[in-house]
Amino acid sequence: MSKTVSIALAFVGLLVGAGFATGAEVIQYFVSFGIPGLIGAVIAGIIMAAAGAVIFGLGSFFLADEHNKVFRNVSHPVMSKILDIAVTLTLFAIGFVMLAGAGSTLEQQWGIPSWIGAGVMALLVIGVGLLDVDKVSAVISWLTPLINVAVVGVFIYSMLNLPDTPISELSEIAAEAESPVSPWWLSAINYNGLALLLGVSMSLVIGGDHSNPTAAFRGGLFGGLLYTVLLVMAAVVLFLNFEAVGEADVPMLALYDNISPILSTIMVLIIFAMIFNTSIGMFYALGRRLSASNNSRYRRWFIGATLAGYAVSFVGFDSLMTYVYPALGYTGIVVIGLLCVWYIRHRSLINEEHERRVRMTELVESREHPERDFTEEHAHELKTLAKESTLPGEQVTETVTGEVEAKLLADDSIDYDGRS
């Protein structure tokens, strides 16, 4: 269960930075359509949950260490190349948009020049991105509850302090805001494609770090459902308070500033942390993809890509979001659609592999556990299951063994030193 929760929190953490931490995205894609836009937020969230489950499940099934490993297996070589290029460019695009967003957030709250805020974010990303995928995932998961508390808190406050303006009038006022995509239902789908596209690469990598496709699937599903709740709450809050904060560069921050200067100071740190979540997810996955042919060059590619993103961020947050996001949204619809179709068509194959890995895990636990017996029959069965796996047997066995060792080492009641 802990794996499922960890994956769920990581998924939410990857998405909220570019998804709604600033509030500007929610206004553009949902609130700007009034009441129909709120319905669109619900639809987008439901699709998010289903697609997130598929993405993490595929990452686990293929034990992906970078997104192209999955694309090569689920599509024609030509389409695989197109998808790879699209996602790689998306990682970079969302990455530099997030750096710009970090600059705008600090500038709105404290008047700090945006290039300084973006620079601080770039340095933080580089520092954390030099850690391994487990630690990166842990950092993302640890920070996620912050935005959960922030959104729920402001939602409760808004429900207790409803505006005097009638809902119908609020809907008309909100509809005056510009949206890069219309009508409302297409805007919802475009947002969905955008959010999933920006998270697909790192989600595949995180899923690939877990041998159990079902646990990864559940993690993606729960994460998507949690994201749905937060997204709808954020949309309702910004809709109800649109008159006061709709014109701000960072509406969510402006909303907290109206409530309390102290809360706004806390909120700016939370938003900055959520933007960091998305930034590290983008640039880490980008570095892994660019160095796929030679992992020893990861540091060079990762640092270079982050610094390049910092340079592009000078264009500005609003301009980048207005033009970059819609184009990426349409691309995301194609990418996620292809992954979902492959998953549905090969569901039985994935289930068989899941059952095989569960049994392999049981056998490896018997082999590694100091108080259990591991017979020659068990060894033969383990070897047979590895050969029958849809992936190279050595890779599957190594992944399962690593998970079992980590589990035993974390159990204080077992005298285990990590050696079989």
Q: Which of 251-255, 259-263, 394-398, 408-412 has the highest mean pLDDT?
A: 394-398
pLDDT tens digit string along 294-322? 777 888 898 998 999 899 888 766 666 66
Give CA–CA dist 298/279, Å, rounded: 17
Across 264-268, average pLDDT: 82
CA distances from 204 to 92, 285, 367 (A): 17, 9, 29
Give CA–CA dist 26/30, Å, rounded: 6
Of 194-198, 329-333, 399-403, the one with minimum mean pLDDT is 194-198
pTM of the predicted protein model: 0.79
**Tokens 């993490």 correspond to what residue?**
56
Residue 334 reports pLDDT greater than 60: yes
Q: DSSP string spanning 306-333?
A: HHHHHHHGGG-HHHHHHHHHHHHHHHHH
Across 21-26, average pLDDT: 80
Indicate the DSSP class of residue 248. Answer: S
Report which of residues 358 and 143 the model is more confident about: 358
Query: How confident is residue 275, by pLDDT bands cut at 50, 70 and 90?
Result: confident
pLDDT at 51: 93
Query: How confident is residue 41, by pLDDT bands cut at 50, 70 and 90?
Result: very high
Distance of CA 147 to the CA centre of its chain: 14
How many CA atoms does the CB half-sphere of 245 hold within 13 Å?
A: 25
Indicate the domain borders of the chain: 2-345, 349-410
When the candidates are 1.10.940.10, 3.90.230.10, 1.10.4160.10, 3.40.640.10, the CATH number that belongs to 2-345 is 1.10.4160.10
